[in-house]
Amino acid sequence: MSHVVFVDSTGPTLPALESAKDMGHFVTFVQPGDASALKLGKTPEERLRAALAHADQVVAIDHLEADLLDALKKIHADRRIDAVLTTSEPAVVPTVKAAEALGIRTTSVRSMETAVTKDRCRDALKAAGIRSARHLRVETREDALAAARDLGLPVVIKPSRSAGKEGVAIARTEDEVTAYFEELPASREALNRTLSTLVSTELLMEEYVQGVLHSAEIVANGGEIEIFMIARREQATHNALYEVAAVLPAGLNSAEQADVKDYMQAVFTELGLTVGLYHVEFIMSADGPVLVEVNGRIMGGMAPFVYRHITGDDPFRLLVQEHLGEEFAVQQPPFGSAGISIALGSVTGGVLPEGVEERIERIKEKHGPIAYSLNLSSGQHIPKQMGNFTVFGFCCLPAETTEQARARGLELIADLEEALGFEIAKYAL
């Protein structure tokens, strides 16, 4: 029996605790009071209590950054820790720092910080001659306008570290660049406490790379990476920054998959990423894969449920095995089926009509979801989507092929729009 410690979680990845327990391990959950993805996602208390029942102990700390290491030292003294990991974006760097300080298997702090800090990551790739979007650091509106002229419009403006697309914008004109900086003080002021600690005040501007957004789900495996899934990321037609869905598998041909593997191996080798599961977003451009960002955690949302449906394998078991340094096996394409995980966001916001609960039940009966999170009730206010943290639900559907999954996703969205009475973010086929 190994001792596996989880630091924070998202709502959809809470089942990782049960997976670790089913593997026969002693499970500890560290619950931060401030910077928590569970709080960002407004995880219902009853759902959290049910998940934490699978932990052998729960340790509450007030502050993630300040208190984690001391808490882990005490836990380690009572029962030696064999693996410490997280599925939560705010906890990625603090967890690696604590693991390194305790001598527990982990990627180095330097490598992780470089990987998740976008300008440092791009600097490293550029220096190594690895394909990357051209970028410039900017501080002021004047810097940004000059950078936009250098890079060529459109451009992407983003914090060097962020989460859920917070603070990210596509500027297609110089007026839009100016508007971004005029609105910047107010947008920073509006960030909640958790996001304000995670979203950097340092900015960079990147060229806008044409192509389809994808993600590679990667096991670091001591530096010799294994890609266990490539997903197509469907972007909203009304705002390309919002990801409406993840389609698994992506439908790339064998040559494209090999190109992605070679590219990601070069990226991981240069960055020195050796331990953990990573969710790496990239654009499949005319010249090949171009990195968007490295996330030092397992794939988010409800995509793990779709992966399990397609392969029959539990990705959370893979996560635990990797952090313990155990041998593992992952299925390789072609896969015999497909699926889609849809993040539901309202384009305008609205109030749910009377009888919405019955309408939702009829939709679930019609579409037969693999998994879902649709805690909706009559009269409930649904906010306008402003990023990944303002979606109002998730739904995962099975399919035989990638293209069927994409079509089924739009059919579900159309039925939900009719039932809820407002426009839902959608993608183009």
228: domain CATH number is 3.30.470.20
Same domain, 267 and 411: yes
Same domain, 77 and 144: no
User: How many structural domains does the chain have?
Assistant: 3
The domain of 15 spans 3-106
111 in a structural domain:
no
Which tens digits make up the pLDDT trace of 320-335? Answer: 999 999 999 999 999 9
119 in a structural domain:
no
**CATH number, domain containing residue 143:** 3.30.1490.20
Which tens digits make up the pLDDT trace of 386-408? Answer: 888 889 999 999 999 999 999 99
Same domain, 255 and 300: yes
98 in a structural domain:
yes
Dihedrals phi, psi of 156, to nearest 5 degrees = -110, 130
121 in a structural domain:
no
117 in a structural domain:
no
Provide the mean pLDDT of the chain. 96
Same domain, 158 and 249: no
Q: Residue range 195-222: average pLDDT?
A: 93
pLDDT at 40: 87
**CATH number, domain containing residue 49:** 3.40.50.20
Which tens digits make up the pLDDT trace of 275-326? Answer: 999 999 999 999 999 999 999 999 998 999 999 999 999 999 999 999 999 9
Same domain, 221 and 191: no
Give the domain-ending residue among 173, 207, 241: 207
> Distance between CA 380 and CA 42 in Å, rounded?
15
pLDDT at 23: 98
Binning pLDDT at 50, 70 and 90, where does residue 343 land?
Answer: very high
Give the domain-ending residue among 163, 183, 207: 207
Q: Is the pLDDT of residue 191 over 80?
A: no
Same domain, 94 and 46: yes
Q: Residue range 42-54: average pLDDT?
A: 94
CA distances from 13 to 8, 10, 297 (A): 10, 5, 11
Same domain, 188 and 220: no
Binning pLDDT at 50, 70 and 90, where does residue 365 land?
Answer: very high
Q: Is the pLDDT of residue 81 over 90?
A: yes
> Distance between CA 96 and CA 86 in Å, rounded?
9
Same domain, 188 and 239: no
Least confident of 71-85, 100-114, 160-174, 337-351: 160-174
Same domain, 359 and 335: yes
pLDDT at 386: 85
56 in a structural domain:
yes
Same domain, 257 and 236: yes
74 in a structural domain:
yes
427 in a structural domain:
no
Same domain, 290 and 354: yes
Give the domain-ending residue among 190, 207, 224: 207
Same domain, 232 and 193: no
